[in-house]
Amino acid sequence: MSLLKTFKDGFSPGIHLLPGGTIVATTYANYRKEDIGCSIVSLRFKMSEVDATAETMK
């Protein structure tokens, strides 16, 4: 499962666990095919959200 659809591979996000269990992942990415440069992208989620999404993919 991927957190973000990108058009290039090999990006390593910085991941931080916040109080209360929220995870923040920040990386750079080309998330549109026509992008010439990269964008900085942060995703905020909890493991319960990931688990719920994984259950729907079974």
Ranges of each domain in the chain: 14-56
Q: Confidence band (pLDDT; 50, 70, 90) for 6?
A: low
Q: Confidence band (pLDDT; 50, 70, 90) for 19?
A: very high
Indicate the SS3 state at residue 16: strand
Instruction: Quickly count: other Cβ atoms within 10 Å of residue 15's Cβ.
Output: 11
pLDDT (average), residues 12-26: 90
pLDDT at 39: 77
Q: Confidence band (pLDDT; 50, 70, 90) for 40?
A: confident
Percentage, residues of the chain above pLDDT 70: 78
Residue matched to tokens 């058009």:
7
